[in-house]
Structure 1
């Protein structure tokens, strides 16, 4: 086949990442003996949309064993990360500035088993494109920046339309995770409404989501919730009965929508765990169900549990009470708790009293409690549970009196707690 780009499509020749000598060295190696190589998928899609490019993948007509040999011959470092599926990771550049490039041989899927497939290698770019999930991911770019579009997917990309390659039902049955990917991709790249044919297919095949591992579902759900267009796709998944299969019901759509608006107003990011909590009733039992269904990490589950136990926060709190809550909860949980309470309150994103409550975390840093167990022991208190009791009582007093910056004054308070000292003093 010729390596001539399609006419009328934009050129990526000026892209800095494409001119990177390390990437060009990989091209040199793969084409040294007549093979073809093109950047594939996400890097091309993002570059054409003027969005950041991170990972760079290359598709090639060379089979994986030849990729290994060609890379070694060129002085590059190949790693056989997925030879059975035609993938070799080639590292180029000096040791302190390696560029890892995932190189995959053109292939067709013979049989699919969810995320795994039995593949056959090919030299046909259109066959390789036909096995991809969405038309906007079936674009290629040669080393000179010429864009190749075997399936005619560029108009979908230009229109910001996420559309399955071929029959949506067949694509979904190859891997049911593509249902969630369809919504996530739209939340990131989509414009206007969801592709109707794709949406109908996702709704019809939604029961297949139950067969997916919790780990795969978790990763996709969290990425979806963090995406710019998360609200529209969450609405669609609720309306079509899809969200129930990955996030336990009931779903609090109103709080979720309010949180999205408030986060934007106060520039506090689009945290997926906070948004996941907003979708739920927020009680401990439901939080436990979320952790189990999505196989959340211990840290993620603990964060949601802290939110469930955080207690009420509102602008009605006095300044001293606000500082006490911030100290007890910690900055992350305090901010989360304020934003979630704000979202559930019905107050608008610009409500000044809530803005001030949220801003406390930026204008005040909780001090460190100045007393330790060693200080209690030094005052003659014998080791044991009494030390912990006194520390807790001292800390409560210290917080209630406004965090005084006087260690000796705090320790002097011990005399009022009726302490028992060693030796009976």
Structure 2
């Protein structure tokens, strides 16, 4: 390789069409160079979807802003102190970062200087497969033997693994996340050993950063064997703070596919670690989950045991009505994943997919129906409405007016009121 340049070429439509080549044309001239780097190159070479494009350049941030503004693009100084400018072209954002060289490193943060050394910039990155870069003409540059690691589906730290990890302990989780997404076989031995040795550093990380990496890992193609390795070396218990249910997690991916339901990170986290409401609370605190994620895990921990095909369609409809569709599907899938049933069980599939066939009606009786019967506003009114709703659910969500009157009258008598 000459200056990292390889004999391989990347033939990608995004290098020829759309806003990206326009950005490269502005930055890659007049003494400056620009390349696409990192995930876009890695995924394109693997035939995986590319969702974002990061650009590296020798131009300093001020020059980047000057050039893109002159070209009519929007420049947003999202991280200009660290060399990053977000350039928006036709509503497509691109992160443009000036080549950097670490001068001092302390934990996650490093004192950097801008430079023009592509090899030096590549060697400050985390993994070899993330340090590949490509020029506008498709020429691939590899300074860290990333192409060989990519061909072997091996996730390997650049340089000494312990050093890379000490720079940012989140790289422990990133190592496993990238292995789950792109690796084959066992994790790189040196990398795994360094992760175990540096495991105490995980306690220094913000819970939000840990959550972000874990949620991505849970959706990766080879999440189960990777989580198993993390469990074997004690890292998974350290992250989750409780016993992981790997068999349930693996089964969850199978039943999601069998039911035709898209994989979901929060649901898979519930399968991995939330067998009880207490588990849900622990994971909420441990990973600083969003309120919506917490509510979903709490519902899963509390209600999955109540769902089974043997209880019949009416019981399933009652559960769907009470839980609402999203929580119902989560709980039904978790119940299926924990049941002694195969991923091809039609009864379980019918239970999970009930929301696709039946929409829960709105409770037809209103407060006015009970107030007209002599119940005043207050606790008694609420109690009567709740009692009537339960009877309505048990009787199959009847819409018959005479049946509804009977339900209201029965609730009224139990509340000590008078009939209409």
Q: TM-score of the superposition, structure 2-length normalised?
A: 0.93
**Counterpart of 1:171 in 2: which secondary structure?**
helix
Aligned mates of 1:28, 1:187 — CA distance in 2: 35
Aligned mates of 1:197, 1:234 — CA distance in 2: 18
Answer whether contact 2:99 2:116 (CA < 8 A) is retained: yes
Aligned mates of 2:249, 2:18 — CA distance in 1: 45
Q: What residue is the counterpart of 1:227 in the other structure?
A: 220
- Give the alignment partner of residue 284 of structure 1, picking from 256, 271, 277: 277
Aligned mates of 1:411, 1:173 — CA distance in 2: 70
Q: Deviations over 1:377-409 (max 9, x none)?
A: 355532222221222122111111111123564
Q: What residue is the counterpart of 2:176 in the other structure?
A: 183
Aligned mates of 2:287, 2:101 — CA distance in 1: 31
- Give the alignment partner of residue 115 of structure 2, picking from 98, 122, 140: 122
Query: 1:153, CA displacement in angstroms?
Result: 1.0
- Give the alignment partner of residue 373 of structure 1, picking from 353, 357, 367: 367
- Give the alignment partner of residue 27 of structure 2, picking from 30, 33, 36: 30
Matches within 5 A, 1:401-420: 401-407=395-401, 409-416=403-410, 417-418=412-413
Shift in CA distance, 421/341, structure 1 to aligned 2, threshold 3 Å: closer
Q: What residue is the counterpart of 2:291 in the other structure?
A: 298
Matches within 5 A, 1:62-141: 62-93=59-90, 98-141=91-134
Q: What residue is the counterpart of 1:390 in the other structure?
A: 384
Q: What residue is the counterpart of 1:330 in the other structure?
A: 324
Query: 1:272, CA displacement in angstroms?
Result: 1.8
Alignment of 1:149 with 2:115, yes or no, is no
Matches within 5 A, 1:294-373: 294-310=287-303, 311-373=305-367
Q: Deviations over 1:208-237 (max 9, x none)?
A: 111101010011111111211110111000
Aligned mates of 1:328, 1:166 — CA distance in 2: 55
Query: 1:281, CA displacement in angstroms?
Result: 5.4
Aligned mates of 1:421, 1:203 — CA distance in 2: 68
Aligned mates of 2:34, 2:397 — CA distance in 1: 64
Answer whether contact 1:382 1:421 (CA < 8 A) is retained: no
Name structure 1 gaps, 5 residues minimum.
none
**Counterpart of 1:220 in 2: which secondary structure?**
helix
Q: What residue is the counterpart of 2:185 in the other structure?
A: 192
Query: 1:131, CA displacement in angstroms?
Result: 0.6
Single out whichever of 293-302 and 405-414 deviates more from structure 2: 405-414
Q: What residue is the counterpart of 1:250 in the other structure?
A: 243
**Counterpart of 1:88 in 2: which secondary structure?**
strand
Shift in CA distance, 23/257, structure 1 to aligned 2, threshold 3 Å: closer
**Counterpart of 1:109 in 2: which secondary structure?**
strand
Q: Deviations over 1:253-287 (max 9, x none)?
A: 22222223322333323222222222225222222
Query: 1:21, CA displacement in angstroms?
Result: 4.2
Alignment of 1:262 with 2:259, yes or no, is no
Answer whether contact 2:6 2:139 (CA < 8 A) is retained: no
**Counterpart of 1:250 in 2: which secondary structure?**
coil
Q: Deviations over 1:160-208 (max 9, x none)?
A: 2111111111111110101111111111111222112111111111111
**Counterpart of 1:35 in 2: which secondary structure?**
coil
**Counterpart of 1:254 in 2: which secondary structure?**
helix
Aligned mates of 2:260, 2:407 — CA distance in 1: 42
Name structure 2 gaps, 5 residues minimum.
none
Q: How many residues align?
A: 416
Q: Deviations over 1:319-343 (max 9, x none)?
A: 2122112221222222222222222
Single out whichever of 268-277 and 243-252 deviates more from structure 2: 268-277
Query: 1:420, CA displacement in angstroms?
Result: 6.4
Answer whether contact 1:250 1:281 (CA < 8 A) is retained: no
Aligned mates of 1:210, 1:407 — CA distance in 2: 61
Aligned mates of 1:113, 1:286 — CA distance in 2: 35
Alignment of 1:43 with 2:57, yes or no, is no
Shift in CA distance, 116/268, structure 1 to aligned 2, threshold 3 Å: same
Single out whichever of 64-73 and 132-141 deviates more from structure 2: 64-73
Answer whether contact 1:227 1:270 (CA < 8 A) is retained: no
